[in-house]
Amino acid sequence: MSTTASTTSTATATVARNPFAEQAPAHPARFLHALNPLAKLLAPLPVMIALLFTRDVAIPLAFGVLAMGLLLVGARLSGRALALLLIGTPVAVALLAVSFGVWVDPTRIDAQGAAASVVLIEIGDWRFTLGAYLVGFATALRIAAIIMLSLIAGLTTTGPELVRALVQNLRVPYRLGYTALAALRFVPRFRHELEVIRAAHRVRGIDAGRGPVAAARRIVSYAVPLLASAIRHAERVALAMDARAFGAHATRTERVISRWRARDTVFVVLFWVASAAIFWWGLSVAG
């Protein structure tokens, strides 16, 4: 009885996490999940490109705060994701700022500025100045802002949702979209197969020892059965797709429809307006 209940609960959990099924509706406050995936890609894309050419601190900092605010309000985040967002991001920016500042080209530092004369660390003839740190800080903020903007779609969109939007809204050939989606499904399958192979090695008492040489031996011993399993799985997927006449017709029916709604247009327009205002403010402050 307990085994049956355990199996039922496991099956229920699997269905609840199935990314190919239509996702459960989120709370109205978590509005990002209700948007079309293409809107969440189209809105920040021009900003991400423009950030590559910025050199100040204010603009990437403002966009990082904007993206974080949208994720905190509009995304359904787990506790781990929330901790990484609120704690991991500032820590990563601080570490990257030091790393980039150490390797920054001295010609990029304004020698006439007050920050160039402030020495933070001095080792022999080498000096790490505040000016170098600020250049590294601006670079780290730019990278963090681009990553945060990409997470607007990354944390609120599943792979199947994106493929459906590309196929139905952008008219990407479904043969390409769903073939790529089938390939992505190989990743969790390989992870499961690798765990099975590791467990089989442990049961048989196979121990390659410790150290880098032993780790390399274990990888080689995992590679052959994993490759064989991958080939068998690819053959089964190909046969299943062929048996269902995949690609025989120019179009196919869709169980879940991906629509571009008015709220998607509103989100894109408002994001672009806010982005233009941030760039105008940042340029005026820099000037």
pLDDT digits (tens, 9 = 90+) for 141-154: 999 999 999 999 99
Report the DSSP beta bridge partners of residue 121: 128
pLDDT of residue 198: 83
pLDDT of residue 13: 41
pLDDT of residue 43: 94
Of residues 66, 70, 73, 72, the one with CA closest to residue 84:
72
Of residues 212, 221, 232, the one with CA closest to residue 194:
221
pLDDT of residue 28: 62
Cα separation, 88 vs 91, whole angstroms: 5
Q: Evaluate whether 71 touches 31 at the Cβ level (below 8 Å).
A: no
H/E stretch holding 6: helix 2-16
Residue ranges in the chain modelled with pLDDT below 70:
1-29, 105-118, 207-209, 211, 286-287
